[in-house]
Structure 1
């Protein structure tokens, strides 16, 4: 039990993420996108062309998700392995499998660390095999200046 959050916050956040990931595992990404707060920030650490912080729901969609999914030749299949929650933090371990349009297998294992607020995803730190990102994915196009 968290020292600063009541157990019901932990349970609600775990349940919310269980629903989102169950839908993602079925190929439905809509609940994931709907759960992003407008000021959602997604960080991919490392030295890949994709590594940076995407700030704001619209930036996440236009600069990360659309360019990424545009490279996929097959439907993206995720398999959730574990979900752990403590207060406003939820950790999700899962696998993703897809073939790129270049014919490369992009089968990665992820650890997502979310910060939740009011049932919305506010922050995401994504840990993954960055060597596979470099080997299998094309670099995203440069974001357009505002």
Structure 2
């Protein structure tokens, strides 16, 4: 494993150590200003979110507004090569409608210059449609 791979893997491990406690701030801080979050699929949430502020305003804000308690996400595996880190993880939270939103994810993350530049998120899209309201 290259030094770049090790460094990027350690960055993601530190981010997920905080996410497991419900602290998403290090994840946001790691994003470059031109960061892109991609949600493939056919849900109302599926699209490219281009730019850190767009991710915060159009993905995180409407998503987290539906949660009744603190969202946590526990990583189960990290795989790193070059500028890429793949994270397998499981999120857990209850919605304000009283439904559990416990999803399993695979994040394919690309770093550049020590910052997150892109994240492709694979998840249970059927659960998204069943539990979450569409973003406004």
Asked whether the two chains share a fold, i.e. TM above 0.5, the reply is: yes
Map of 1:127 onto structure 2: 122
CA distance in 2, matches of 1:52, 1:71: 19
TM-score calculated relative to the size of structure 2: 0.98
2:18 counterpart SS class: helix
Map of 1:47 onto structure 2: 42
Structure 2 residue runs of 5 or longer lacking an equivalent are: none
Map of 1:22 onto structure 2: 17
Q: How many corresponding residue pairs?
A: 136
Give the drift of 1:31.
Answer: 0.5
Give the drift of 1:70.
Answer: 0.4
Q: Deviations over 1:28-71 (max 9, x none)?
A: 11100000000000000000000000000000000000110000
CA distance in 2, matches of 1:119, 1:23: 18
Structure 1 residue runs of 5 or longer lacking an equivalent are: 2-6, 142-146
2:5 counterpart SS class: helix
Deviating above 3 A after TM superposition, structure 1's stretches of 4 or more consecutive aligned residues are none
